[in-house]
Structure 1
Amino acid sequence: MDNIYQHFRSEEKDFIDQVIQWKQFVEDRYAPKLVDFLDPRQIHILKSIIGNEQSVKYGIFGGNSDCERNRVLLYPDYYSPSPEDYQIALLEVKYPSKFVTLTHRQVLGTLMSIGLKREKFGDILCQNERIQFFIAKELLDYIKLEFRQIGKTSIQLLEIPLSDAISTGEVWQEIQTTVSSLRLDAVLSSVYNISRQKAQTLIAHGLVKINWRIVEQSAFICEEGDVLSARGHGRCKLLSFDGKTKKEKWRIKAGVLK
């Protein structure tokens, strides 16, 4: 465990320490520990730390099998978790869709503006005019009280069964490309087919995220498994780095969300 930090980025140290504390809690109490919604990068780190531990197991559930953000239940070997253990509710947003168009970004911004931390709610699902989101059950009363409008549009929240979650129908297209370096600006330029200067401008203006966190350094080094997003250009996953070409360029396989 002493050398666990060397396998991850320095800015991930605090989260690694948190996972170690959660693991210790389960071992000491011999009882399950439910944590908030984690993004895929955090779940990757948690899996790496817990590994194939015999004394501590983990379960992952975000409301349905397609969720990107999931709550994690750490539990001792005797325990058999059920979906109810994850304490997740599904809310549908009712609004005058004939007259108003609401976006994923507006819903996310409003949830954050009423004081909710991002880890307290899961995926936001949008399909045509329908909008739903998963939330930690312990916040149901609070959100029903505080979340009454998005922008100037009045809304109502309806709690519905998890089984009624809409399918977003995301389609990922796999591409292969080459980059001169693994710097963020170079990778963005190649994956999104934009100029390197345009990539640098997006980064400098805080419009680029890696693993759901804003990165403003063009020289940031990308790694396999990173999820990148650039405002106006969608998201991509860096699936694998497949060595270098004769001209010393990196071969990259990526999935781009269309």
Structure 2
Amino acid sequence: MKIDRSILLNHIFEDDKKVVLRNLIDKVETVINKHIVVSTDFLDPYEVYLSKSILNKFDEIKYTISGGYHSFERSIIYVYPSYLYDVDYGDIKKLSFKDNEDIKHKNVLGSLMSLGIDRKKVGDIVFSNGYCHIFLKSEISEYVKYNLTKINQSNVKLEENIEFIAPVLEYEFKKIIISSLRLDTFIGAILKISRANAISLIETKKVKVNFKDETKPSIKLNQGDLISIKKYGRFIFADVEQITKKDKYVINIKIPK
């Protein structure tokens, strides 16, 4: 079976996402023609959303999404023939080292990249129960285990089979008052910067809404949206507490700690 990629991708406009989805379609074609189980690299939630829009068009296959633990963010998709029920989900490995207050998420990721590891091969990096846990594609786990020995000038020893306890997410809560629910207005208020600077952040692709690059300052935000701003962090639009007599919005914001 040969799949017409142009039709399946006509609703995708981001070039980098088209690459991800072309690779996915290649895997679907392999599953249909060779009747085997395949898996993607790690995808962010927006890429998973787009992938599902493709996968749901094929009756010949099924798929399962996994990130290695229950509350994952980055995940891989297993694709397999529709008649299979018992599938080996062994493509994710977890390596752990004892937590060190001098080591942050960016340090771990940076050290992995310095080893030549493709970001797509790395899932979530989670600090929990006194350890840092790194979820990886199994194909690189041995290499990482024996080559990642120092992070941010601290020696580390990676171990397998360390118990993983998913962390309880903690948030800082903040309240802002804005004149509209536009993205640029929201960013200007939360960062306490001018509207012009907020627009600059958006138009230079430093802002994501629900993991999708957003370059339109005028889009309207919705309750529950996750706004990520490069170098500033993440902000969750929790809810509108009230609308004032002057038609301003009192917004509650959750900021992950």
TM (norm. structure 1) is 0.74
Q: Indicate the RMSD between aligned Cα atoms, in angstroms.
A: 4.1
Give the aligned residue type for 2:131. R
* 1:94 alignment counterpart: 98
- Which of 81, 101, 105 lines up with 1:76 in the alignment? 81
Residues 57 and 76, structure 1, Cα contact 8 Å, conserved in 2: yes
The secondary structure found in structure 2 opposite 1:78 is: coil
Same amino acid, percent of matched pairs = 27
Following TM superposition, by how much is the alpha carbon of 1:10 offset from its aligned partner in structure 2, in angstroms? 2.9
Q: How does 1:138-153 map to 2 (within 5 A)?
A: 138-153=139-154
* 1:230 alignment counterpart: 229
Output the CA distance in 2 between the equivalents of 1:138 and 1:149.
Answer: 21
- Which of 25, 28, 33 lines up with 2:33 in the alignment? 28
Output the CA distance in 1 between the equivalents of 2:128 and 2:58.
Answer: 40
Output the CA distance in 2 between the equivalents of 1:58 and 1:253.
Answer: 37
- Consecutive unaligned residues of structure 2, counting only runs of 5 or more, are 240-245
- Consecutive unaligned residues of structure 1, counting only runs of 5 or more, are 241-246
Output the CA distance in 2 between the equivalents of 1:4 and 1:165.
Answer: 39
Give the aligned residue type for 2:84. Y
TM (norm. structure 2) is 0.74
Seen in structure 2, the aligned counterparts of structure 1 residues 10 and 203 have a Cα distance that, compared at 3 Å, is closer
Output the CA distance in 2 between the equivalents of 1:176 and 1:5.
Answer: 39
Output the CA distance in 1 between the equivalents of 2:221 and 2:19.
Answer: 19
Give the aligned residue type for 1:157. L
What per-residue deviation string (whole Å, max 9, x for no partner) do you get for residues 162-184 of structure 1? xx22322124679998675755x
Q: How does 1:1-258 map to 2 (within 5 A)?
A: 2-11=6-15, 12-51=17-56, 53-82=58-87, 84-94=88-98, 97=100, 101-127=102-128, 129-160=130-161, 164-171=163-170, 180=180, 182=182, 185-190=184-189, 192=190, 194-197=192-195, 198-200=197-199, 208-209=207-208, 219=217, 227-231=226-230, 233-236=232-235, 256-258=255-257
Seen in structure 2, the aligned counterparts of structure 1 residues 221 and 94 have a Cα distance that, compared at 3 Å, is same
What per-residue deviation string (whole Å, max 9, x for no partner) do you get for residues 189-210 of structure 1? 35x3533455356568876455
Seen in structure 2, the aligned counterparts of structure 1 residues 57 and 111 have a Cα distance that, compared at 3 Å, is same
Seen in structure 2, the aligned counterparts of structure 1 residues 55 and 218 have a Cα distance that, compared at 3 Å, is closer
Residues 211 and 226, structure 1, Cα contact 8 Å, conserved in 2: yes
Residues paired across the two proteins, number: 245
Give the aligned residue type for 1:170. L
Residues 178 and 185, structure 2, Cα contact 8 Å, conserved in 1: no
Seen in structure 2, the aligned counterparts of structure 1 residues 253 and 71 have a Cα distance that, compared at 3 Å, is farther
Output the CA distance in 1 between the equivalents of 2:91 and 2:175.
Answer: 38
The secondary structure found in structure 1 opposite 2:167 is: coil
Seen in structure 2, the aligned counterparts of structure 1 residues 6 and 196 have a Cα distance that, compared at 3 Å, is farther
Deviates more, 1:224-233 or 1:16-25: 224-233
Give the aligned residue type for 2:50. I
